[in-house]
Each structure stands twice: as C-alpha cells, then as structure tokens.
Structure 1
C-alpha cells in the first residue's frame, strides 16, 4: 500500500478508537483489529474477484435512484460505481457489464483494473443514454474531431470518411473508450463485446486494426467473442498466437480456407453456413479443435460424392478429435437432404463426438449417432417453435426419433430436446442405458388417458361400485375401466423408469410459448382464447393441455419419483398434469433441492391473467417453499445454447 494512503488512514485511528474504546477492553480492541485485518485479506478479494452487474445486489444498486431526474440519477449511480471501483477494483479479475452506466464508468475509470476477462454485452438496449446529440456523418468533420478528441491521443479507431455513420457522438466515444480500456489492461486473456442492435459500431474493426496499436495487448488473449463485420481467419490466427476460443457472428468469415496448422484453437463458432470443403479444411488445419459451431454444412455441387470423412481423399488421415458439433441454423421440412448429408457424411467421421447441438431431428440422425457416436454425453435440440400446441402453428416434430440415444448411449448426461416426443410404450418396451442422466427435457405423450366424458362415466362406476359390489357393467363402462387400468399401468412403468435416474437435476416434460406477435390483447388469436369468470375476475386460458400427456398426480404414481433427491428444476407447462395441493405438499418435502418450477407461472399474454386454479396453486407452493422460483422457460435458440456451454 502507498505511504500516503497509509498515512491518510492512520489519521482516522484516534477518532475510531474514541468511538469504540469505551465499549471494549484493550484485548477486545486487539481482536477487532485482527478480525478486520483478516477480513480484508481473506474475504474482500474473493467477494470482488468476479463482478456481473446482472446478478445479486447489482441490479438493485443500479436502480436505486430511479425516483430522481435522469441527470441526477445517472450521476448518483455512476458515483457509487466509481467509488466501488476505486476502493476494490484492484481485486476484480472477471468483469461482466450489461448496464450502460456501469459501462461508462468502467470505460472512464477502469485503467487501474487488473482484469483477466472483460465482457460488455447489450442485447436489445441502445448505447444512447443522451438524446439530442448531433449525428456523425462523413462531412461533419468538426463533430468527428470533437468526439475523438474526448479520448486520449485521438482515440484508437479512425473512421473511414466513406463510411455511412448513423450513430451518435456518445456511441463513438464509448467504443473508443472500450478499446482504450482493453489497451490499458495488461494481461487481459478474454474479452467479449456484443452489440447486436448496433453492429455498425463494429464495422470499423478491420484486419489491420489487430495489427495496429493493440497488437501487443492482443497477443495475450486466449478467448475472443466479437461480432466482426469481416474477419480474415488466417490473419486473425496469425495475430493472436495464443487464441484458444473464438466466436464471430453471422457472415463474418471472409476466407475460411487455411494453409497452415494452428494447434492451439480449441473452440470456433462461426454463425454462418460453410461448404463441406471449407468445413473439412478447418478441421484439418485446426487439429486441437474440440468444439465447432457453424450455421450448417452444405455440399458445393450436387454431383459431389459426399464430403464425408471416408469418402473424400482430401480428408483421409485427418486426426479429427472434435468433441462438440453445434449446428446453429434453423431447419425445416425442406432441409431433409441437408440433415441426411450431415447424418451420413459428417457424423461417421467424428468418432470422439460427445456433444451435439442441432435444430431438428430426423430418423437418420438417431440411427447414425448410436452407430458411430456411442460416446455421446450431451444432446441438445434447440426450441425454435412457438408453442407445444403445434396444430396450425408448426409441423409436429418426429415421435421416438431420438429414443435410440437413451437406449444405446450409456454416457449420455444431457437429453435436452423439449420439441421431441416419446410415447410410453417405447419407454416400457426398451430399457434405457443412460443411468447417469442429469437433464431430461422431452415430451412424454401418448398415454391412454380418458377424455372428460369418459372420466365422468368412470367416476360414476367407481361411486356405484362402492355401494354395489355385484354391479354389472355395460360394454362401454367395461372398456372405459380397462382403459383407465391400462393408463395406470403405463404411468407406473414410466414413473419407475424416471425414478431410476437418480442423478436427475432437471426434469422438464413440456413447455408452452406464445409468439411475441400474439401478446397484444387486441390480436384475434388472443380474443379467440377461452375465458372464464371467478370471484369477479376474468381469466384467460391459453389453449388446453396436451391430450395424452403424462398425469402428475399422486394417484397416478407421482410418489414413485421420491428417489430424485437431486432434482433442482421440474417443468410441466402445457401438460395435463392434474397437480393439486396434495401433490405440491409432497413435492415440497420429497425434493429438498428444488429451485425452479415451470408450470405455475403467470401467463405470457400481455394483460392476461392466468387460470385462477394455477394462481391458487402457485400461492400454495410459495407458502410451502418460498425458495422455489416460478418461471416460464424462454427458449434462447441454438446459438445461445451453444454459447452458454462453450464460453
């Protein structure tokens, strides 16, 4: 610590002693001093080691002054952040920023940080926190000079006069300060900079930029996530010799052909479609690649004899160690040939594959995976559908298509395919070999459930038999009783299969999502939904539950899942679950680690109120387990699924 700092702090000791000495004996004072010393040495550094302004108390702090006018609010918030950085910033090693005020303070006062990783991300929010500023245009040179002059030595970036500017002076200054911060932080190993709504801010990033004033800083980087406008992959890998993880956005790779081997790269995500030739060229020259994310892989010409590992002489002998393949594009029914090509031509050449992310599943995919990739541990299918009720919205995905994985891949830990369906007869007939499954997100449909009319008949039979043992059933009644018994048997056997998965942390059996276009109450879709009144309020039912989905009541066998002691997430949105208060009381006790419940959350239609039964159940669960969060699962798309896993 600097002498001046020590002296300044020592001046306050007499006052401090005067306040507490009357309450403590000298030995107690000594103990307090030692505790304070140990606290600062042992607890403060870990507490400030990783800062994410979207977690814990930070969102509350950043909104403390919302009641003030905008200028005073921004100044107060920034002063609080600046004070924290000045006092504890030297402890921060990993910094993730999503708030504009936080970003502004960091860009101005972050030079003293000793960061190892820096992340600045805006998904839908604008950089512009000041309105009414002049817009930069090619011929407003004076404004441009004023903006750049704010930054030390004219800034890092220099705009091209021919470029069509459409962002404000503050935007330009901010991006300058971001790169200056990168420049000033020695030893930075990872940075992430995403502004999807303002990609023009990154159009100034050219290949020459990385050979410019920041070249020395970049040489220490091991991970980069940046939505480049154009990226020369060859030039980039040459400039960053220690790079291990690279993500770049849509259509950013100018030239994906490599002529030299780069063994250090472990992760490469390129959100664009590659030809089969380029795909295998990258695998050949990136022998250390473990995870590869691409939009899709296509043949260049129809007459090519597949670009597969064993059928293309150019690819013979490539030591493909790839463990994760992540296909980010959405597929539809017209992409069957592409899916077949990927299944039959690419996957057989990836014998070490343990993770696969893909948009849709087809019969050929499951067959090839269990034939050539039995070591698969993680399978994710993205959720690019509007609702679990697919009739009239989307074509229903295949049934039982990926069951082969559960039956043939013993190392499978994650089966994340909520758009997929498995029927109970398949589950009962074929045992699962994945005993260490931790995540199971899939629809279980096809149970022999009674419809509403049949249930009335069955209840009548039960009531009648309680008083008349020798009751003679009609043919219809006899069939309904047999169907009920078959359904009970199905449920018990499926429950037993799920109960055997004692490592399960996530069990999600359905989801129901409303397209954002349908969130307006004036939309005809919303107006067509069923309504009912209860206690003076109107409730909207967003479709009905899926007929034939799994019942989750105690009479159906729910208690058989008492073995799932590690369960953290339980989802049943859109399922005809029949959960009532007794089931909630059982869950609250049987699953001590439960953190999230999906199925009792409020509806997603703007202004609509969910079913009063659901509201009552949610309130009941909140009393039983106030620590359990209720949420609707929002799909983040295959790209986000991939990035959450890779970075």
Structure 2
C-alpha cells in the first residue's frame, strides 16, 4: 500500500508539472518527502507523519491528476487526505469501469430478493452520501437510475443514459411509483391487482401525456418522468446524451409503437422548456423525433449547443436538411445517415463553423461537380439542379476532422470540387492498393496531420492505381504528424523511404516490414519522432538502427520485430540522443560469450567449488568469462542511462515455442551471443531503472536463474516477465512460482495479459479500492 501511494504521487507530480510548485512554493517539502508523506496508518511513526504533512492545496492539485483507483488508494491515509481525494473519487461514475462495477454493482437475476435489495439499498445510500461530489455519471441500468433520482443529484455536469433501462415490470418498485399490491385469496398462479401511487413529492413533474399513452409497461412512463426531472434538477449540465433509446424506454416523446408524424406541439414545448433551463449545455445526443425538433433550431433557439449527435437519422430523402436552419455556433456534428455530395455541400453552407463531422455513408457520384464561390455560385446536384448568385465563404473551410464510416474513394471529394482546405484528420482507416493512391490522397488534402491507411487486395480499382508514383510525389513538405500504414508497406520497398522525405514533422510512425534504407531515411528526415513502430528482416539494419537512435532526441517508444544492434556498436559508438525512452524492443547481438564447451567447464569448476584455474583450458575459460562480463557490464551501464524505461524487450519475442509445440530447451535458443542477464555479468548496473514494468527475454540464450528473477522483482515495479522458457538453476523444468517470491509479477511462458503489481509507480488499474 505504501509503495502504491508513493508511486502514484510521484507519477502525478512528474506528469502534471507540479514539481516546481512543490519545490518552490513549499520549499520545505521535497519530492522525497512527498513520496512518503501521510503514511502514518501504514506504519510510519507519529513524529515522521507530522514532519511530512503536505498542505491541502498541494494534495488537491495532485488529486486532480490521478485516476480513480489512485484516489481510492490515497483516501485512506488520513483525514486530511480523505478531504482532498474523496471528491475526486466520486467525480465520475461509470459502471463498466473499476471500481464502480463492484461498488455500484447492480443486483443480478440469480440473486435472492434479499441480496438484490441489499445491493439496491447500498447504491442508494452511497449516492445520498457522496452525491454532492458527482459531476459525471453514465447510467446503464435501472437500479442506478433509481438511486440517482432518489439521491436528488443536483451538481451534474455530464449525464449519459443508455437505452437498457426498460426492465421494470408490474409489481416492482420504481423511483416515482410505489406498488401497492392487493393480495386476494386466490391460488398462487392467479393474477394480482396493482395500484400505483406517487412516491416522491417533486415539483413540476412532467405530465405523462407528453410521452404518449400506449406504453406496454405503465411503470416506464413513471421512469421517463423521473429521468426528465433529474435533468431539470441539474441546471449546470454541459453534456447530455441518450444512447440507444428504444421508443418505449426513457425518451420516446411519442406513443408505442413509434409514430412517424413526429412530436406533438405540447411535447415540443416541454422539450424547449427543459433545454432552456440548461444554459451551459454544449453537447446533446438525442433520438427521433426530438432530434428533428432540436436539429431544426440549432442556430436560433439552441445556440449554446456546439456539439450535436443525431443517431438513426432518416436515410430516405433530404427532409431533415431542408428543415434545418443555419448555425454559426455548431462545431461538432454526428449524423448517422446516408448522404451524398450535394447534402455535404448543404451541411457546409448551413454550418460554416464545423470543426468535426461524422457520417455513416457518403456517396460521391461521378457526374457531381461543386463550383466554389467566385462571384457566382452553382453546382450540379445529382437530384436536382441548384443555382444561385450570392457569394459565400469557402465550403467547410474550418473542418478539421472528417469521419465517414463508409466511402469507396475519399479522394473523389477533391475531384468533385469539395476541397476541405483545413482538414487535419480523416477516419476511419483508409484502404489503398498502390502507393500512387496515397500520393493522390496527400496531394488532395495537403493539410492532413493524421493518416491511418491499410493496404487492400480488393479487385475494385481506385483512381490513380495505374499511375506512376514518382510523378505524383509532392514537391513540398507535408504537415503529417502521424502516419500509420498497416500491412503491405514492404511491397513499396525503397518507396517507403521516399515517402518519409516529405514528412519532416512526423511524431508518430507505424509501418509494416521496411528495408534498411527506410531507417536511414527516418534518421535524415524525421528527427521529431516520438512514437515509432516497424518490423525489419532479422539480421539487417544494425548500423541504420543505431544511427536512428542518434538522430531522434524526442523518441520515447520504439517497438517492433527484428530490431537488432551489434554489441560493439552499442558499447563503442553509443551516442544515442533519445534519453527519454520509455518502451524499447531491441536485441543486442554479438556479445562475446563462452562457448557451450567452456560453459560446461565452468559449471564443472563451480560444482567442485573452484573459481581458480588449474589447467590451461580452465585458464582460457576464466579469461573468456572475465572478458565477457566486462563487455556486458559496459552494455548494462549504457542501458542504465535510460531511466524512464518501462518496457524493455531484449529478445524481440514475448515467448517462443519449438516446432514440436513443447517448451524450448537451452539448445533451441536462437541468440547465443546475447546478454547473460545474470548478477555476475553486471545486471546490477541497471538497478536504477526504477520504472521497469515489462521485461521480455524470449529468444535469448540467457543464464538467468531464480536468483535473477527475484532480484528483478525486488528492484523494479515489474508487472510481467515474458519469454522465460527455462532457468539455468532448474534445467528442463518450467519456472515454478514460489509463494511470497513472485506473487507480484506475471512470469509468462506464453503471451498473456498484464497483471497487477502494487509496486507500480504508474496510475494503472489496481486490485481493490
């Protein structure tokens, strides 16, 4: 527990730039003291606790940068800490995330009525006690909605209600209706009569007539009333979202089944009155028919709404667009419907300030052409001709993010005259067949900063597939900061390196298999890289990889397969500039090691209890061992420079298996000229890597024993050690976890998920509260 709190506090201080505040404003409180402050209940003496007390305002700033798990860990230290951390513990509630899926667990159908009542009462009690701290809540079931309503939450800033709140049946208690069953003297299988009476005295309770009268379950009407009363009691709401609402659950505004005629005048007036009480509301997600009502007035009555989600919009006709007025305040729009290029032009005209636009399907017909405004405005609609004579600003001139779930050729927008002059990101993954298509894409949208593309073997040809990529390459540098090319990049060979020549601003680069020449191009042109992932053929690119590390001072993550570097270069030419490395996959090969014969001679000497040579052969073994250990110590000393490392894979594999499917033995390992990873060879030099969480040694002929693994568990906050197929102290046997020794670390024989370690300094999820 002490190590957990110390770790999360240190991480929060580093990540939130609080260290200057701690050391300057409160100069008597050093970082070392903060790591141990307030741990009186964990065993520190009273005098130490008083000396290391942290001011409340510092704790509050630290708490604002911690996750929920860390806040729960810190709240039990003392009363001062509880005062600081409890409000942040309860700030955001989501039953799908820990610890809320346990703390606010809903009763299951297999539980007894008494157990169900206990869990229901627990949720109500907790929300009544801590409801004043809740700012964001996602309601996914009936029980939590019931508890939120009865707790009378009034300080919410974000409320999301999912559409599964439809499970109540006659005979169950709801938030606003008490069920009084008049049991009659009839057989058990007979029906009973239920009478509903108002349970809570709420002011201005919405009339049931607003929501229709043909519901299959009367209690759902009550629940709908309560839901909207909860909304009205929170005038500070900024985010309101209804997800997957069926017509008969929380938000129908019509009778059952759904009517296509839309809302009644009274229902529309009620909705207007509710939204008028929410002056700070900026994000709204709502379904038909209320969505039509709001969408038509975004630029007039609802100017405060800057983000709107319209799920399940009508796919047939352009009715919703024709009824929609203009808005200069809308910045984000999600419209789940099929539209064509002409509709897109309409959206651009009606919402000129859009920054983000999300669509389901976008169709661009070959005969459509939009003519930008240049004194006259005209474009050919694929449904009807539209002409005009008024000037207008450039279409979608401020759109930065375009998401289209389905579009065959995104570059067709540019050929149709829709240029998107400010777009920075297009999602989801763009499919391409040739490098020429990528060049066409980047020329069409030169402002792109994020591109995720994947090679496809679809027979459907795209524009430009038969063109020469060399003639399409941009002549000026691009603005790309993130480039992700999934699969197939090896087909382009040296073309990958040519692409990187016009991408000097890249900070994140993910590729498939690349040639060594691509690494040289990265080193020359992409010196701002921070996140790098690629694969290279094993045994190639040793020199180029070393140069890459020298050329990229901002590099923090370098992952992939086939990353190898020569031990001699790592020792004698070690001039890496990336001192902030956090994740690294790197196999160091060419380490001078004893041969298998010499190892057996040394082991025989050890069994005899001797370390001094008595024969020429033994003298040669001792000399070779000393040389190897000096060389390996130099390697460890260079590795120790990268104190921010959390993930280090020295083998290039998480785990390896033999062709026979069994566990690999010593003779099966493929890298005999690698690090021994033993204390004797200098492993203690890397004890300073105090953030190490994941270590991979798969594919190495190491000499690790339980002694080394225990040392790592003691020195580092390890969560996982992968690739250990055998230990030299127990040849032929898999590692057996001993009680109390490896209980905090996952010793992985095969690829497995990360496990929890209470020593971890990062704010990652932890067991318990």
The TM-score normalised by the length of structure 2 is 0.50
Q: SS where residue 359 of structure 1 aligns?
A: strand
The answer (yes or no) to whether the contact 1:326–1:357 under 8 Å persists in 2 is yes
Q: Deviations over 1:167-188 (max 9, x none)?
A: xxxxxxxxxx974499699978
Number of matched pairs: 500
CA distance in 2, matches of 1:513, 1:568: 14
Q: How big is the shift at 1:206?
A: 9.2
Q: Which of these residues, 76, 98, 104, is aligned with residue 56 of structure 1?
A: 98
Correspondences of 1:186-201 after superposition (within 5 Å): none
Which position in structure 1 is the counterpart of 2:469? 306
Distance 1:574 1:629, change over 3 A: same
Q: How big is the shift at 1:450?
A: 4.7
Q: Deviations over 1:126-183 (max 9, x none)?
A: x9999xxxxxxxxxxx99xx964545135999999xxxxxxxxxxxxxxxx9744996
RMSD: 6.0
The answer (yes or no) to whether the contact 1:343–1:368 under 8 Å persists in 2 is yes
CA distance in 1, matches of 2:112, 2:84: 39
The answer (yes or no) to whether the contact 2:141–2:165 under 8 Å persists in 1 is no
Q: SS where residue 365 of structure 1 aligns?
A: helix
Which position in structure 1 is the counterpart of 2:712? 587
Q: Give yes or no for the alignment of 1:292 onto 2:451.
A: yes
Which position in structure 2 is the counterpart of 1:620? 741
Q: Which has the larger radius of gyration?
A: 2
Which position in structure 1 is the counterpart of 2:662? 529
CA distance in 1, matches of 2:154, 2:322: 23
Q: How big is the shift at 1:587?
A: 3.5
CA distance in 1, matches of 2:605, 2:82: 73
Which position in structure 2 is the counterpart of 1:343? 497
Distance 1:419 1:276, change over 3 A: closer
Which position in structure 2 is the counterpart of 1:375? 528
Q: Deviations over 1:251-286 (max 9, x none)?
A: 546534334554664443431324656645655565
Q: SS where residue 326 of structure 1 aligns?
A: strand
Distance 1:467 1:252, change over 3 A: closer
Distance 1:43 1:433, change over 3 A: closer
Q: SS where residue 429 of structure 2 aligns?
A: strand
Correspondences of 1:265-414 after superposition (within 5 Å): 265-274=423-432, 279=438, 283=442, 289-296=448-455, 304-306=467-469, 312=472, 315-316=474-475, 320-327=478-485, 329-331=486-488, 336-344=490-498, 346-381=499-534, 398=540, 400=542, 402-414=545-557
Q: Which of these residues, 692, 697, 717, is aligned with residue 572 of structure 1?
A: 697
Q: Deviations over 1:298-356 (max 9, x none)?
A: 9965763425xxx548x455x632222122x223xxx5332532321x21111212221
The answer (yes or no) to whether the contact 1:370–1:409 under 8 Å persists in 2 is yes
Q: SS where residue 568 of structure 2 aligns?
A: helix
Which position in structure 2 is the counterpart of 1:152? 252
Q: SS where residue 415 of structure 1 aligns?
A: strand
Distance 1:312 1:54, change over 3 A: same
The answer (yes or no) to whether the contact 1:249–1:270 under 8 Å persists in 2 is yes
Structure 2: gaps of 5 or more residues: 1-79, 168-214, 217-244, 261-283, 296-301, 357-398, 727-731, 755-769
The answer (yes or no) to whether the contact 1:266–1:291 under 8 Å persists in 2 is yes
The answer (yes or no) to whether the contact 2:313–2:337 under 8 Å persists in 1 is yes
Distance 1:74 1:214, change over 3 A: farther
Structure number having the greater helix percentage: 1
Distance 1:204 1:434, change over 3 A: farther
CA distance in 2, matches of 1:556, 1:242: 57
Q: SS where residue 406 of structure 1 aligns?
A: helix
Q: How big is the shift at 1:554?
A: 0.6
Q: How big is the shift at 1:490?
A: 3.8
The answer (yes or no) to whether the contact 1:81–1:105 under 8 Å persists in 2 is no
Which position in structure 1 is the counterpart of 2:30? none
Q: How big is the shift at 1:413?
A: 2.2
Which position in structure 1 is the counterpart of 2:23? none
The answer (yes or no) to whether the contact 1:407–1:430 under 8 Å persists in 2 is no
The answer (yes or no) to whether the contact 2:697–2:722 under 8 Å persists in 1 is yes
Q: Deviations over 1:82-115 (max 9, x none)?
A: 8878987896666679xx6599969x98999966
> Which range is displaced more, 550-559 or 566-575?
566-575
Q: SS where residue 549 of structure 2 aligns?
A: helix
> Which range is displaced more, 204-213 or 414-423?
204-213
Correspondences of 1:71-470 after superposition (within 5 Å): 101=141, 148-150=247-249, 151-153=251-253, 179-180=286-287, 220=330, 222=332, 238=348, 241-243=354-356, 246=401, 248=403, 252=407, 255-256=410-411, 257-258=413-414, 259-260=417-418, 262=420, 265-274=423-432, 279=438, 283=442, 289-296=448-455, 304-306=467-469, 312=472, 315-316=474-475, 320-327=478-485, 329-331=486-488, 336-344=490-498, 346-381=499-534, 398=540, 400=542, 402-446=545-589, 447-450=591-594, 454-461=598-605, 466=610, 469-470=613-614
Q: How big is the shift at 1:506?
A: 3.0
Which position in structure 1 is the counterpart of 2:643? 502
Q: SS where residue 507 of structure 1 aligns?
A: strand
The answer (yes or no) to whether the contact 2:430–2:453 under 8 Å persists in 1 is yes
CA distance in 1, matches of 2:654, 2:122: 39
CA distance in 1, matches of 2:746, 2:309: 30
CA distance in 1, matches of 2:747, 2:662: 23
CA distance in 1, matches of 2:309, 2:703: 45
Q: SS where residue 469 of structure 2 aligns?
A: coil
Q: SS where residue 620 of structure 1 aligns?
A: coil
Structure 1: gaps of 5 or more residues: 1-37, 121-126, 131-141, 161-176, 194-200, 384-394, 519-524, 531-539, 604-609, 637-647
The answer (yes or no) to whether the contact 2:131–2:153 under 8 Å persists in 1 is no
Distance 1:76 1:510, change over 3 A: farther
CA distance in 2, matches of 1:245, 1:82: 43
